[in-house]
Amino acid sequence: MRDLVFVHGRSQQGKDSKALKAEWIANWAGGLKKSGLSVPLPDERIHFPYYGDTLDQLVAGKSPEEAARIVVRGGAPEGGGELSAEEKAFIEAVLLESIGRFEADAEGAVQRALPPGAIVEKGVLNWGWVQAILVVLDKHVPGASSASVALATRDVFQYLTNDVIRGVIDAGTASAMLADPGAVLVSHSLGTVVAYNVLRLNARQKGWKVPLFVTLGSPLAVSVIKQKLAGIKPIGFPADVAAWFNAMDERDVVSLYPLDGKNFPLTPAIDNKTDVRNDTSNNHGISGYLGDKEVARRIYDAVTAP
Amino acid sequence: MNRAAVLIGVNRVKGLPALNDAVRGTQRMHDWVLAQGFAPGRVALITDEAGPVTAAAIQDAVERLLDPMAGVEQLLIYFAGHGLNINYGEFWLLSRGLERPTEAVDVARSAVLARYSSVPHVVFISDACRTAAAGVQQQFITGSPVFPAVAGGGAEKAVDQFFACTLGNPALEVQAQDAANAGTFTALYTEALLEVLGGGEPTIIEVAGDGEVPDGVVRPWPLKRVLREKVSARLIALNLHTRAFQTPDARITSDPGQAWIARLLPPPGAVSRAAGLPAGARTMVRPKAPGGGLADEQPARSLPDWVDATLDNVLGRGGVPGDSADPEEARAITDQTERHGKEFEPRHFETRCGIKLRGGQAVQAICPGTRIEWVVEGEILRAYPRPDQASDRVLLIFDDGSGAMVPLLPEFIAELSFDNGEWAGLAYEASENSSVHDPDPARRAARRQLREFVAAAVERGVFQPDRETLAALAARLLDAPLPDPVLLLYLAYALDDAGMVGRLRELIAQARARGATPLFDVALLAYRPGEAQDELRACPPGMPLLARGWSGLAARGVVLAEGVADVSRMRQPGLWSRFTPAAVDVFLQQLRSPEVNHA
């Protein structure tokens, strides 16, 4: 029996680490139940490195909902700091790529979403343009809360570009990793970026063994995210990871692409499952992934393998 | 390690004599990279054998390799062909490099952009001349960077640059002297390089001990040293009937204990770095010369080695004179040091701030923010900074209509030195009535001599101290009431060349803590893309002082104050940024309501 490490993304519910861990375990238990199984590990062998406080600091003590409005508005919130030009460009690139999944002519759709009389600046930082992208996104994913996508994107940007924040999050995540016999690593959303990066940077030197690396709702294949990740260390299959399983709902507005040979080609190839039916509001929530029968079973098999 | 290469060979540049070994040399490099195990799909061979070589073709090749999913960990960019130097920046001429200003590779800008790419170790290898541009056509070459605008981000990456020769000098192709091979030319540098990279110098093959196979590596610092010896030895062995010389050079920023360029089987007895020579260790090995002709003469040490040893002496680091003769250009450096090192009057202003000129005159001085007046027309200018003023700048216009933007620093007198009418030096000395003036004449003289020696070496492109010397220079810089602004400027470029920007930022913080405002170039080199630019633009004189700073400006995406950006290309050749009359007109329009002082 191997230990299990969960690496979370942003929690919109503002729950603390214990509550979140309990929720993840319950979600997994729900998925296992569909196969007639139950959680095979005691709680103490399930590790949940928590960095929610660090994420909260990114939005200067504001609630996630309030912070999301700030990100979407792109203004200079009191005490929250103005979004940098680079950050705005990053968010815009991700959002444009996300609506590309629904619109063959993404730019045309955004133009049509601009209000009558809108002024389009011939500059690189046109926040009105970004607003229009969000309108298109909301149209295609009702209740998807484009704001939450923008906020998740901001988290990823901050993680990838702010050395201090990345250092804190990485250290917390690394502390949960184990050498022989190793631990199964399950990550979600921003957590997949964190987990990949921590593995890529440290696995070989620290001798961690990961029989299975699971990524759920991962935005790793989004172009600007790949670009930033490569700036930290050239992208490659993490050392000492025996197998990588990726699962997504094709409607997930954060993950966008499978980690396949076209979008995230690595050797050995990543095993992809793209038919998850994630019924959370934005098709991205963790419960919709861990509650999937096959996802839950894959994790179970890796944990219980001899 | 996942390695990739872009290999460029250009024999013919329209308007220049054809070369003979550029393409062949590139093909030999191609053979070497494949033998090293580079994946063929990650090697681009671009030569003019099949057609003209264009900047776009090189950019495309680099861009393909920079794809985030390519996972490239080391990128080698090799060029053989004609090259030249414009304002202390290297350019590689492509097939139509003389006719089309952008059809040349701007090496300096490419190297800066490479730092912000996704590849942890980029190596530029240049088998090309570094002679100064000649004539109007060559002066108009603007070149193109081959790396895309800042994309990868993250921490700065290591970028090493290897040059076939020192600044201002040619790289050579030598014709075979035996009848059987008459007409066959060989590029000296590439030949020596491939010999060393192929294991021809077993003494520098270290055991890496990093788990990769084979276990032996050739690292950048020993390679730099050995290439000087090898090329020198080849020239002697060739027994040429001319005094041709060629001294390879390099700027290395990679970690001396980590980076490597070639992977080889280690020879018996090879050791790891821990047991070997320290990084950058200099040991002059005199080549074994065959008898006859010039080869019998005692070989002179190279100018860079002489500068390094002299600096070590000055800094009390036990530089060893050695038994080699001093190089011919050494005298020019010592003469210049002595000439510019002499103090001249006045040594104080009541206002503790001003500018004085030696060997040249200005006809006009303009400073919108500070009251100024000529004490001696055209030669001595007194400034009246306000008590709360950190700095300002003065536009000096010379009799030919050209001009210079000179920083005005409270407590300091700026010294402009001219040699034969050319602006040759800038220095700052604390006014004698300032609290930051050092009363000890011996210490002052020593500092002046050190600064002017460094200045003379910088002018010749041979100021490349190793990390230990840089640390000693930084300590010497701080051993003064206020750090010497211009010595800090030279150090900043050297730290940047050595990949020690973190240390530069520390130095700036220490200087600021003492109340010193860094010059613009210093702040520019410490600047990281994405940071706010207001503080940088406030550093005097609001634009690069050294000519080579302009390429760094563009590559970092720094935007100058409105109007000033236009003057980037309106500069005259030289170490310092001296502007053409057209640029002076731009400045005059920009400096509204100026206080104008005609001499």
Confidence label for A62 from pLDDT (cuts 50, 70 and 90): low
Whether A195 and A278 map to the same domain: the answer is yes
What pLDDT was estimated at residue A93? Answer: 83
Nearest-Cα residue of chain A relative to residue B118: A231
Query: Considering the domain boundaries, does residue B287 fall inside one?
Result: no
Please enumerate in sequence order all residues whose Cβ is within 8 A of that of B189, keeping only pairs 6 or more positions apart, or say none: B127, B164, B165, B171, B172, B227, B231, B246, B248
Does pLDDT of A136 surpass 80?
A: no
Domain boundary among A103, A134, A155: A155
Task: Show residues of chain A in contact with B502, CB under 8 Å.
Answer: none
Bigger pLDDT: A143 vs B421: B421
* Partner-chain contact A265 B69, CB within 8 Å: yes
Highest mean pLDDT (candidates A150-159, B142-151, B383-392): B383-392
Q: How far is B71 from chain A (nearest CA, A)?
A: 4
Query: Considering the domain boundaries, does residue B444 fall inside one?
Result: no
B73: contact with A, CB 8 A cutoff: yes
Does pLDDT of B498 surpass 50?
A: yes
What pLDDT was estimated at residue A236? Answer: 94
Confidence label for B287 from pLDDT (cuts 50, 70 and 90): very low
Residue B68 corresponds to which amino acid?
P
* Partner-chain contact B69 A226, CB within 8 Å: yes
Residue B586 to residue B568: CA distance in whole angstroms: 11
B1: contact with A, CB 8 A cutoff: no
What pLDDT was estimated at residue B321? Answer: 55
Task: Show residues of chain B in contact with A232, CB under 8 Å.
Answer: 154-155
Does pLDDT of A143 surpass 80?
A: no
What tens digit of pLDDT does each residue of B403-447 get?
999 999 999 999 999 988 888 999 999 999 999 999 999 999 999
Domain boundary among B235, B253, B271: B253
What pLDDT was estimated at residue A40? Answer: 97
Q: Structural domain of residue A277, as residue ranges?
A: 3-56+161-304
What tens digit of pLDDT does each residue of B160-194 get?
999 999 888 888 888 766 666 656 788 889 999 99
Distance of CA A57 to the CA centre of its chain: 18
Cα maximum dimension of chain A: 66
Domain boundary among A155, A183, A218: A155
B336: contact with A, CB 8 A cutoff: no
Q: How far is B471 from chain A (nearest CA, A)?
A: 26
B557: contact with A, CB 8 A cutoff: no
Q: Picking from A113-122, A151-160, A235-244, B237-246, which range would have the lowest pLDDT averaged per residue?
A: A113-122
Pick from B70, B72, B118: which is nearest to A231 by CB? B118
| Structure-block tokens of residue B369 | 């923010």
| Structure-block tokens of residue A172 | 């917390």
Angle at CA of residue B328, ends B326 and B330, nearest 5°: 65
Whether A10 and A74 map to the same domain: the answer is no
CATH of the domain at A168: 3.40.50.1820
Does pLDDT of B392 surpass 90?
A: yes
Residue B6 to residue A289: CA distance in whole angstroms: 44
Task: Show residues of chain A in contact with B68, CB under 8 Å.
Answer: 223, 226-227, 229-230, 235
Whether B197 and B346 map to the same domain: the answer is no
Q: Structural domain of residue B424, as residue ranges?
A: 342-437+481-598
B208: contact with A, CB 8 A cutoff: no
A13-31: average pLDDT: 87
Query: E strand or H helix at B510, and its extent?
Result: helix B501-513
Task: Show residues of chain B in contact with A226, CB under 8 Å.
Answer: 68-69
Whether A120 and A242 map to the same domain: the answer is no
How many structural domains does chain B have? 2
A82: contact with B, CB 8 A cutoff: no
CATH of the domain at B150: 3.40.50.1460
A161: contact with B, CB 8 A cutoff: yes
Query: Considering the domain boundaries, does residue B475 fall inside one?
Result: no
B303-317: average pLDDT: 86
B209: contact with A, CB 8 A cutoff: no
Taking residue A126's Cβ as centre, other Cβ atoms within 10 Å add up to: 16
| B92 close to B109: Cβ distance less than 8 angstroms | no
What pLDDT was estimated at residue A196? Answer: 97
Whether A181 and A148 map to the same domain: the answer is no
Whole-Å CA distances, A52 to A17, A23, A295, B103, B461: 8, 15, 24, 52, 52
Task: Show residues of chain A in contact with B151, CB under 8 Å.
Answer: 227, 231
Whether A8 and A137 map to the same domain: the answer is no
* Partner-chain contact A227 B152, CB within 8 Å: yes
Residue B50 to residue B283: CA distance in whole angstroms: 44
Task: Show residues of chain B in contact with A230, CB under 8 Å.
Answer: 68-69, 71, 118, 152
* Partner-chain contact B69 A161, CB within 8 Å: no
Query: Considering the domain boundaries, does residue B279 fall inside one?
Result: no
Sign of CA dihedral B61, B67, B70, B72: positive
What pLDDT was estimated at residue A229? Answer: 92
Nearest-Cα residue of chain A relative to residue B2: A234
Pick from B68, B72, B530: which is nearest to A229 by CB? B68
Nearest-Cα residue of chain A relative to residue B70: A235
Does pLDDT of B370 surpass 90?
A: yes
What pLDDT was estimated at residue A13? Answer: 53
Q: How many CA atoms lie within 13 A of A266 on its CB side?
A: 26
Domain boundary among A155, A184, A206: A155
Does pLDDT of B305 surpass 50?
A: yes
| B110 close to B146: Cβ distance less than 8 angstroms | yes
Query: E strand or H helix at B4, and its extent?
Result: strand B3-9
Percentage of the residues of chain A whose pLDDT score is greater than 90: 42
Query: E strand or H helix at B29, and its extent?
Result: helix B22-35
What tens digit of pLDDT does each residue of B256-267 get?
889 999 999 988
Whether A128 and A199 map to the same domain: the answer is no
B51: contact with A, CB 8 A cutoff: no
Whether A90 and A135 map to the same domain: the answer is yes
Question: How many H helices and E strands in chain A?
Answer: 12, 6
Q: Could you please report the per-residue DSSP string of B145-185?
A: -SSPSS-S-SSPPEEEEEESS-TT----EEE--SGGGTT-E
Domain boundary among B230, B253, B276: B253
| A283 close to A141: Cβ distance less than 8 angstroms | yes
Does pLDDT of B372 surpass 50?
A: yes
Q: What is the DSSP letter of B519?
A: P
Percentage of the residues of chain B whose pLDDT score is greater than 90: 58
Pick from B71, B119, B153: which is nearest to A228 by CB? B153
Does pLDDT of B389 surpass 50?
A: yes
Residue A135 to residue A114: CA distance in whole angstroms: 9
B4-16: average pLDDT: 94
B281-304: average pLDDT: 44
Whether A150 and A10 map to the same domain: the answer is no
Nearest-Cα residue of chain B relative to residue A236: B71
What pLDDT was estimated at residue A17? Answer: 81
Task: Show residues of chain B in contact with A160, CB under 8 Å.
Answer: 153
Bigger pLDDT: A122 vs A233: A233
What pLDDT was estimated at residue B273? Answer: 61
Pairs of residues, one from chain A and one from chain B, whose beta carbons lie less than 8 Å apart: 50
Query: Considering the domain boundaries, does residue B567 fall inside one?
Result: yes
| B353 close to B384: Cβ distance less than 8 angstroms | yes
- ipTM entry: 0.73
Whether A76 and A181 map to the same domain: the answer is no
Nearest-Cα residue of chain B relative to residue A237: B71
What pLDDT was estimated at residue A177? Answer: 86
A203: contact with B, CB 8 A cutoff: no
Does pLDDT of B291 surpass 60?
A: no
Task: Show residues of chain A in contact with B118, CB under 8 Å.
Answer: 227, 230-231, 234
Residue B551 to residue B554: CA distance in whole angstroms: 5
Bigger pLDDT: B542 vs B155: B542
Q: What is the DSSP letter of B49?
A: T
Query: E strand or H helix at A213, and its extent?
Result: strand A213-216
Does pLDDT of A123 surpass 50?
A: no
Does pLDDT of B255 surpass 80?
A: yes
What pLDDT was estimated at residue A10? Answer: 74
What pLDDT was estimated at residue A124? Answer: 42
Residue B541 to residue B533: CA distance in whole angstroms: 14
What pLDDT was estimated at residue A144? Answer: 53
Burial B153-165 (b: 16+ CB within 10 A, else e): bbebbbbbbbbbb
Whether A80 and A207 map to the same domain: the answer is no
* Partner-chain contact A231 B154, CB within 8 Å: yes
* Partner-chain contact B68 A227, CB within 8 Å: yes
Task: Show residues of chain A in contact with B121, CB under 8 Å.
Answer: none
Bridge partners (DSSP) of residue B430 are: B412
Q: Picking from A69-73, A114-118, B407-411, B451-455, which range would have the lowest pLDDT averaged per residue?
A: A69-73
Whether A18 and A50 map to the same domain: the answer is yes
A231: contact with B, CB 8 A cutoff: yes
A163: contact with B, CB 8 A cutoff: yes
Query: Considering the domain boundaries, does residue B292 fall inside one?
Result: no
* Partner-chain contact A230 B118, CB within 8 Å: yes
Whether A170 and A276 map to the same domain: the answer is yes
What pLDDT was estimated at residue B593? Answer: 47
What pLDDT was estimated at residue A65? Answer: 57
| A98 close to A256: Cβ distance less than 8 angstroms | yes
Residue B505 corresponds to which amino acid?
R
Task: Show residues of chain A in contact with B73, CB under 8 Å.
Answer: 234
How many structural domains does chain A have? 2
Does pLDDT of A54 surpass 50?
A: yes
What pLDDT was estimated at residue B381? Answer: 97
- Residue A219: left (phi > 0), alpha (psi -120 to 50), or beta? alpha
Q: Long-range CB contacts (< 8 A, 24+ apart) of A174-179?
A: A174/A198, A174/A202, A174/A206, A175/A49, A176/A5, A176/A47, A176/A48, A176/A49, A177/A5, A177/A202, A177/A206, A177/A208, A177/A210, A178/A3, A178/A5, A178/A208, A178/A209, A179/A206, A179/A207, A179/A208, A179/A209
* Partner-chain contact B151 A265, CB within 8 Å: no
* Partner-chain contact A236 B2, CB within 8 Å: yes
| B490 close to B463: Cβ distance less than 8 angstroms | yes
Task: Show residues of chain A in contact with B119, CB under 8 Å.
Answer: 234
Nearest-Cα residue of chain B relative to residue A87: B530
B442: contact with A, CB 8 A cutoff: no
What tens digit of pLDDT does each residue of A213-257 get?
999 999 999 988 999 999 899 999 999 899 999 999 988 878 889
What tens digit of pLDDT does each residue of A66-112 get?
555 555 554 443 334 456 777 777 888 888 888 887 778 877 887 78
The rounded mean pLDDT for chain A is 83
In the block, which residue shows the tokens 């409105």?
A: B562
CB proximity under 8 Å: A 252-291 to B: 264-266
Task: Show residues of chain B in contact with A228, CB under 8 Å.
Answer: 152-154
What tens digit of pLDDT does each residue of B72-131 get?
999 999 999 999 988 788 999 999 999 999 999 999 999 999 998 999 999 999 999 988
